[in-house]
Amino acid sequence: MLEFFGIPIVNTTMPEAVDWIAARAVAGDPALLAFVNPDCLNIAYVDAEYRRILLEAARVLPDGIGIHIGCRMLGVALQANVNGTDLFPQLCERAAQTGLGLFLLGARPGIAEAVASNMRAQCPGLRIDGVQDGYFDPAEEDAVIERINASDAAILLVAFGVPRQETWLARNHHRLKPPVRMGVGGLFDFYSGRIPRAPVWMREIGLEWTWRLMQEPGRMWRRYVIGNPLFLYRVWRQARGDDTS
């Protein structure tokens, strides 16, 4: 059993995570899937609404090296870094094989379209049933939800950033039709090519976060330079047996 500050996280492998999504997409009952890195867990530590959403989610998956280090401090062997960005191409492959449709909601205008055309080129037969940027007027929300529901997509990916994407999904839980709903943060920016991802060697040694810090220091320094030590301090307290929930 893996948990940080009372939030259970599924300790699994990438193939099992893809199997689970495909099964839930076919089963049809609504399932919220969240990916958490140390920054997300720091937010959940102080944001009661986001914390409640994570507790009620069908699944919370571990994203990144910070969680890996946290697991080691707790004496838990983490099976894999099951982050949304690495999972996405495998999910597209599976969706193309099984005929499940995706809807991409979020990021700047034009970005989700670029992701759709890149992934269709990579995975022949992939159904992207609709796209919508993440900067629509709140007055258009009903129309956006109608389009998502009319699209027949089984998997909805929402890229508004944490915790906005999760609170939006929770607020609209009963109005959305696609069974699987996932918050995916900056994923569309990467697969559209707008923001280059760290080189593979950096990802493999757990340094993707330093790449993101170098790219957007103004926005990221608080997340990593303050957030990572704060997260590890809280995990250290949890490992000691202090009440951190």
CB 186 within 8 A of CB 195: yes
- Tokens for 34? 């969240």
ω into 163 cis (within 30 of 0): yes
- Classify each residue of 191-207 as buried b or exposed e, where b means 16 or more C-beta atoms within 10 Å of its C-beta: bbeeeebbeeeebeeee
H-helix or E-strand spanning residue 157: strand 155-159
Q: From 87-95, 112-120, 156-164, 174-182, give the range in contact with ligand UDP by CB under 6 A.
A: 156-164
Amino acid at 191: Y
d(CA 127, CA 99): 7
Contact with ligand UDP (CB under 6 A): which of 66, 70, 106, 179? Answer: 106
3-state SS assignment for residue 70? helix
When the beta carbons of 70 and 183 are compared against ligand UDP, the nearer one is 183
Q: From 15-23, 86-94, 172-180, 186-194, give the range in contact with ligand UDP by CB under 6 A.
A: 186-194
Contact with ligand UDP (CB under 6 A): which of 38, 66, 185, 227? Answer: 185
**Parallel, antiparallel or unpaired: strands 2-4 and 127-132:** unpaired
When the beta carbons of 219 and 237 are compared against ligand UDP, the nearer one is 219
Contact with ligand UDP (CB under 6 A): which of 159, 170, 182, 235? Answer: 159
When the beta carbons of 162 and 180 are compared against ligand UDP, the nearer one is 162
Site for ligand UDP in 160-179 (CB under 6 A): 160-162
Residues that bind ligand UDP (CB under 6 A): 106-108, 134-135, 159-162, 185-186, 188-189
